[in-house]
């Protein structure tokens, strides 16, 4: 029966040298991660408040607004964006 070596102990690469870590490294990572999580949550809350205030002041139809946001997120063709814009403008001009 032959032995299959999973780890090659003879060769140590630069990547292997960076595998040492400590509990303090984990604490630092988690601490910084939680800071980012809080910042993201604060930005999301701020965006929700801004959006609610904006929509309260302007009466943009939610269907068209949802389509426009979806287009922006998907980076779709500007012709589609312009068509949605034209549809919104037509609602207010008529």
The rounded distance, in Å, linking the Cα atoms of 70 and 77 is 12
**Run of H or E including 47:** helix 23-57
For residue 19, give the DSSP letter. T
Q: What confidence score (pLDDT) does residue 26 get?
A: 94
Nearest to 62 by CA among 72, 49, 52: 52
Q: What confidence score (pLDDT) does residue 14 get?
A: 57
Average pLDDT score over residue span 8-21: 65
Q: What confidence score (pLDDT) does residue 69 get?
A: 85
- Taking only the tens place, the pLDDT of each residue in 22-75 is 999 999 999 999 999 999 999 999 999 998 898 889 888 888 888 888 877 887
């Amino acid at each position: 029966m032959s032995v299959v070596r999973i780890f090659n102990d003879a060769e140590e690469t630069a990547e292997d040298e960076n595998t040492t870590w400590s509990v303090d490294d984990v604490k630092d990572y988690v601490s910084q991660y939680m800071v980012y999580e809080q910042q993201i949550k604060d930005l999301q809350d701020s965006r929700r408040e801004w959006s609610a205030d904006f929509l309260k002041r302007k009466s943009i139809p939610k269907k068209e607004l949802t389509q426009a946001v979806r287009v922006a997120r998907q980076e779709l063709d500007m012709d589609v964006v312009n068509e949605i814009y034209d549809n919104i403008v037509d609602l207010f001009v008529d």
